[in-house]
Structure 1
Amino acid sequence: MIKLFKNLKPFKVPIIFVLILVFFQSLSELYLPTLMSDIVNNGIVNGDTDYILKIGGFMILVALGGTICTITASFLSSKVATGFGRNLRKGLFTKVEGFSIEDFDKLGTSSLITRTTNDITQVQQVIVIIMRMMISAPMMCIGGIIMAVSKDSKLSIIIVVVIPVLIGVIAIIARKGLPLFKSMQIKLDKLNLVLREGLTGIRVIRAFNRNDHERERFNEANHDLTNTAIKVNKLMAILMPLMMLVMNFTTIAIIWFGAKRIDAGNMQVGDLMAFIQYVMQIMFSLIMVSMMFVMIPRASVSAVRINEVLDIVPVINDPKDIKKAVSKKGYVEFKNVSFNYPGSESSVIRDISFSAGPGETTAIIGGTGSGKSTIINLIPRFYDITSGSILINGVDLRDMSQDELRSKIGFVPQKAVLFTGTISENIRYGKEYATEDEIKRAANIAQATDFISNMEEGFNSVIAQGGTNVSGGQKQRLSIARALVRRPEIYIFDDSFSALDFKTDAKLRAVLKEETKDSTVIIVAQRVSTVIDADRIIVLDEGNIVGVGTHKELLTSCDVYHEIVSSQLSEEEIA
């Protein structure tokens, strides 16, 4: 957790103020019992009303000063902690944004959400406690011992007996609590995972009538977390009664032995009252320490999980020496590329070589699992290739910055993803400062204008979370418009026409041909009708290229392609 404290540097000044304020607050609390002792010994015993009023007034001023210090310190410490939490969340989110797909797979989305929210909140709460108690608790404990000894050194033997008992209780409970706190965070990850899957997959769950199964999964994860939380709370619930029990027995012992010392004339009543208060302050300071021990173990576990994310070195990084383009814009070339996913022994694609240039449409077709989408995902460098090289404009994409590489690409994924916001905002996602005319033009080319104009607010209509208020085909068209508004050098369509009807598909491809005439177009498709007019068709089978050519050439030269065409078109259409 200490490693995270470097994020407190921007709050150096308020932290110093908090520590000073807490210092003065502790002094005021330590001074009050002595003043009360003086009132009893010198005022009440002697019947000196003026002295009582004088010291009493001074006590009020000291108490008021301590209260102001307490309130101000609480305000500043809360402000520091929330600012720390805000900055840490921002840093964590920024770090995660730089992760490759492989890095995401290591931790999992649900765990990353928990770490960014719950874990940071745990650390944030502990920072408030540490700032408030880091100075206060030790000072109250040490100061209380000194003041108690100054009142009566012999009676202070009681403190020597009690403090080790309290420290032992705190240590035992903290030691047993730490593994449970760690377990709680892992079980919270599991609950988040089940909840996330249940919410995002609600349509599939209902379609297959698996509501009861998902409810059981959630209840199991929920009960697991609850049972662990109950164990932790039972353990921590023991702490306070034990502390109070020790405190009460200590008070009885002080009164018992103190009364004997007063009776023997070795101690005054006021000193005994002050002594009791100082012992209470010592005990309460230890209770404050115990509270820190209750929260610090859980926060420590959270801090470790946060640091795990911050310490990850992304698998994909920008090179130190960025190279400039050496050939025409939009030129893509694969040279003997092979790739296998992390943890997999066999390659998904093997020895892939082809090139695609501006003004050309290159289509990739093949059976399910043949490696089509894998090839597409390698171009924006979502994964790094295992061997070979991919050149963009004559430069290996590993020698380019990721920002520069992706700025050249208009990517339309297989599964259309829309974000909460208006239609305009979703299209503008492809080009931040796109004008209204550019947005409308892109929508028109993507054949989206008709359904947008039928919506109540037109381009200002709000897309619901996950795009649930538009159909699959509408999602795809908006996703295509988002790529078109960018006007990139390279267009990548990863099976992006599958949800469109044949009429819309044909119209869209006809308009796209004119729009993308100066760009490189790479299409992955299942439909033969989508790739039939491509300048180059690459046929994949089990990760290998088994044919390259035009539609007519491949019909006679590639059995795999002929088989795909025969499964989709009639003999008359093929002819």
Structure 2
Amino acid sequence: MLKTLGAQVKEYKKASIATPVFMILEVIMEMIIPLMMASIIDDGVEAGNLHHIYVMGAWMIVAALIGLFAGVMGGKYGAKASTGFAKNLRQAMFENIQTYSFSNIDKFSTAGLVTRLTTDVTNLQNAYQMLLRMCMRAPASMIVAMAMAFMINARLASIYLVAVILLGCCLFFIMSRASKYFQQAFPKYDDLNASVQENVSAIRVVKAYVREGYETSKFQKASGNIYNIFCKAEKNISYNAPLMQFTVYSCILLISWLGAKMIVGSSLTTGELMSLLTYCMNILMSLMMLSMVFVMVTMSMASAERIAEVLNEKSDLDNPEHPDFDVPNGSIEFDHVNFSYRKGEGKPVLSDINFSIKSGETIGIIGGTGSAKTSLVNLISRLYDVSSGSVKVGGKDVRSYDMEKLRDEVSVVLQKNVLFSGTILENLRWGDKNASEEECIRACRLACADEFIERMPDKYNTYIEQGGSNVSGGQKQRLCIARALLKKPKILILDDSTSAVDTATDAKIRKAFLEEIPATTKLIIAQRISSVQDADRIIVMDDGKVDGIGTHEELLKSNEIYREVYESQTGGGGDFDEKRGEA
């Protein structure tokens, strides 16, 4: 884990080294000043030597200025190193997430990834800054102050040693109790973020069903869990301050009492006593700072593990050593394909799938919910890998292609496809960033999207809100189809992507495909038989298996499932799942 996180320091190594160096320099200057104060009192004030007071006073000013400079530079470089480290962590996580396959993404929740990129990185940033500054400053300050105290008077300095040992044991006990609560707290942020994300994304449903009160109580519960855990942790930490004050004041009383006796006995000077009192505060405050560093590090350990988990997760889909960059055509072949989302576990989602599709064919795929239609087409663009068998595109196994090139040649339009915030043109150019406005208009004409775009005030410069919230479901689907067409793919997959489109527009889209992109292989997943009946062939899926393949007329004669669904849809408006349920 430390190696994984440490690799993200990168260009901020110099700042990370400079910070503790300046911190140590600041400590040295702080430790020299009490000695100078002792010299001023003993050799200047008591001896009546004004010149010595001036000289030592000047040196004290120089030491203070050097310490001030070192402190400022330590703060500057510490901030630069920690914020840069946090920036690199976010960037590395985001870049690694982009390489994930669908199966990798399935391991993490959206809320969990958001928490890792925000709260967890912030925790680690704060801890890193504390380590660079306080973790060097506090031990150095304590060690140097202890050494100086023993140089002045070993008998009185032993009071500090006993106090440090006792206080260290007490602080360790307190921190160990608090650390277990911090480890429990940060994963709870996932629940909080999930509650917010779900509520905001589904706010229309919440308001439609008047469930604001329920959502508020759910958020309060998630927020309350974090509150309760942090209260328990902070309750333990609250003992730090009184314990520290008790120790400091006890040491001051003991040193003042014993020191006064020694001054009377001429074994200690007034200046030395002043220096010892100053070192007392330095030593014990250093221990307090160390305890705070321990708290921060403890808090960040859970975050560090969660971040490392994202960084160490590697895509289970890799390019071959010598990938093929040429996809000859849009032919597709499934050869004894079996597929499970979790390899070797549970029932296969797809079982012994065998069929071939010629380049340029239009293939309809129909089946009930859960019949694995989407799983089938996901294998074509290698969003998942088969468990056994092979999927071939252009006569070559999809695993032999460069993944980026393969996915450029296979356009998938999902039923719940996403539009991004920006103009219509900007959304369309996701398909081809160099597409001209004329090419975008042509793609929209093929997808029948030009009908509603032309009625908009700003036409193709109309701004689309995040997720396409200011367009209807059917309009969103047509824009997504147009976006996919701009890629000029060899294979076009429409995964129930005309479900929100009326039948007349659906027919226009299919006619445009037939006339304008005859060389593109088209796979149309649908629940309505009217959407696929004109296809060259139709594949009927049932429970992860191919139940039948043929034309509309052939399946009406030979396939019972297809015939039943056709009759229910033409005779009474039933859909596929409803009829299959009755059967």
Q: TM-score, normalization: structure 2? A: 0.94
Whether the 8 Å CA contact 2:102–2:384 is kept in 1: the answer is yes
- Name the SS of the counterpart of 1:352 in structure 2: strand
Distance 1:56 1:358 in 2: 91
Corresponding residue of 1:498: 499
Whether the 8 Å CA contact 2:156–2:258 is kept in 1: the answer is yes
Corresponding residue of 2:351: 350
Corresponding residue of 2:458: 457
1:434 matches 2:421: no
1:220 matches 2:221: yes
Which consecutive residues of structure 1, in runs of 5 or more, have no partner in the other structure?
A: none
Which consecutive residues of structure 2, in runs of 5 or more, have no partner in the other structure?
A: 573-583
**Pairing 1:125-524 to 2, within 5 Å after superposition:** 125-323=126-324, 328-342=328-342, 345-524=346-525
Deviations 1:81-124 (A, max 9, x none): 11111111111111111222222222211111111111111111
Root-mean-square deviation over aligned CA pairs = 1.7
Quick one: which amino acid aligns to residue 169 of structure 2?
A: G
Distance 1:453 1:236 in 2: 64
Corresponding residue of 2:581: none
Deviations 1:68-91 (A, max 9, x none): 111111111101111111111111
1:454 Cα deviation (Å)? 2.5
Greater Cα shift, 399-408 or 121-130:
399-408
Quick one: which amino acid aligns to residue 205 of structure 2?
A: V
Distance 1:441 1:512 in 2: 12
Distance 2:444 2:194 in 1: 36
Quick one: which amino acid aligns to residue 333 of structure 1?
A: E
Whether the 8 Å CA contact 2:362–2:535 is kept in 1: the answer is yes
Distance 1:208 1:408 in 2: 43
1:132 Cα deviation (Å)? 0.9
- Name the SS of the counterpart of 2:538 in structure 1: strand
- Name the SS of the counterpart of 1:124 in structure 2: helix
Quick one: which amino acid aligns to residue 520 of structure 1?
A: T
Deviations 1:119-143 (A, max 9, x none): 1111111111111123221211111
Quick one: which amino acid aligns to residue 339 of structure 1?
A: F
1:2 matches 2:24: no
Deviations 1:254-310 (A, max 9, x none): 111111111111101111001111121111111111110010011111111111112
Whether the 8 Å CA contact 1:170–1:239 is kept in 2: the answer is yes
Whether the 8 Å CA contact 2:325–2:405 is kept in 1: the answer is no
> Identity rate of aligned residues, in percent?
39
Distance 2:17 2:389 in 1: 57
Deviations 1:332-363 (A, max 9, x none): 11112122332862222221111222221011
Quick one: which amino acid aligns to residue 238 of structure 1?
A: Y
Quick one: which amino acid aligns to residue 159 of structure 1?
A: Y
1:484 Cα deviation (Å)? 0.7
Deviations 1:395-448 (A, max 9, x none): 211222321221111110121211122211111111122222222221222111
Whether the 8 Å CA contact 1:536–1:550 is kept in 2: the answer is yes
Quick one: which amino acid aligns to residue 202 of structure 2?
A: G
Distance 1:176 1:516 in 2: 68
- Name the SS of the counterpart of 1:522 in structure 2: strand
Quick one: which amino acid aligns to residue 136 of structure 1?
A: R
- Name the SS of the counterpart of 2:7 in structure 1: helix
Whether the 8 Å CA contact 2:248–2:284 is kept in 1: the answer is yes
Whether the 8 Å CA contact 1:170–1:293 is kept in 2: the answer is no
- Name the SS of the counterpart of 1:155 in structure 2: helix
Aligned residue-pair number: 570
**Pairing 1:91-102 to 2, within 5 Å after superposition:** 91-102=92-103
Distance 2:355 2:161 in 1: 82
Whether the 8 Å CA contact 1:445–1:508 is kept in 2: the answer is yes
- Name the SS of the counterpart of 1:244 in structure 2: helix
Deviations 1:169-189 (A, max 9, x none): 221122112221111011111
1:528 Cα deviation (Å)? 1.2
Distance 1:241 1:453 in 2: 72
Q: Relative to structure 1, is the Cα distance of residues 213 and 342 closer, same or farther in structure 2, using a 3 angstrom cutoff?
A: farther
1:12 Cα deviation (Å)? 2.1
Distance 2:464 2:325 in 1: 39
Distance 2:21 2:371 in 1: 68
1:27 matches 2:28: yes
Q: TM-score, normalization: structure 1? A: 0.96
Distance 2:316 2:180 in 1: 31
Whether the 8 Å CA contact 1:445–1:481 is kept in 2: the answer is yes
1:570 Cα deviation (Å)? 4.2
- Name the SS of the counterpart of 1:334 in structure 2: strand
1:48 Cα deviation (Å)? 2.4
